[in-house]
Amino acid sequence: MGAPGDRRYRKVALACALWFCVAVIVVHVVRDDLSLWHRTLSIYAVGPAGWVLTLGFYAIATTQFLIALRLYQLRRSAGDSLTAAVLVLAAIGILLVAIYPYPIRLPHNSGAALQLGLFPAFLLLHWVWRRDDPLRRFTLGCALLSVAFFLLLLWNGETDYNIGTTAMAQKCQILVNTLWLLVYSWRWPAYSVTDQAAIPDKVTF
């Protein structure tokens, strides 16, 4: 993919991540009847202005798909391919959350589990396999925070949506994950000489 395509995908990924941030802020302002501390994010997708957050979910899933594609293009090993695949699965989780609102518990919770559980795993895998990444320390910091908030969710061990510990742990993890997506989308690494050498030449006949 040439430079124009790189810039185009970078702009789309960054714009979608920014839209998700705007959507989250908008629904928290509009839905002042819901407690910031006691309601998980997906609850805001049901009711007034819920469509704004639903579009935000689709947008942040698009960002993740585009970054996964970019990581796959920059792959050097099977580990890099695995890392991209994990991010794709996490993005599919967001799509399930967008398609099935929280009252439809099984697909909705399954999607949330995919996203919240696999995104920290993705960050750790990315940190392990991309040792030359200029954002490696930043990725590790985000990975550790994301894991910590996810473990807090597991430790809470509840299924009720009106629990402060669950809601804030979830929102904090989403904040960390989104921050990484924003920074990576802004940086959007280009092909290095090593990356280009690692990509097999096309077979011609």
Q: How far is CA 128 from CA 6, 79, 95, 157, 168, in A?
A: 25, 9, 27, 29, 28
Residue 193 has what pLDDT?
41
pTM: 0.85
CB-count burial class (<10 Å; 0-12, 13-18, 19+) for 166: buried
What is the domain partition of the chain in residue ranges?
A: 3-189
Listing DSSP states for 29-64 in one string gives HH-TTS-TTTS-GGGGGSSTTHHHHHHHHHHHHHHH
> 81: which 2 tokens?
């391919």
Torsion of CA 66, 44, 52, 87, to 10 degrees: 0
From 144, 152, 131, select the one nearest 76 (Cα to Cα).
Answer: 131
Residues 139, 126 contacting (CB under 8 angstroms): yes
Residues 120, 87 contacting (CB under 8 angstroms): no
Residue 157 has what pLDDT?
56
**Residue ranges in the chain whose pLDDT is less than 70:** 1-5, 156-165, 190-205
> What are residue 2's phi and psi, to 5 degrees?
-80, 180
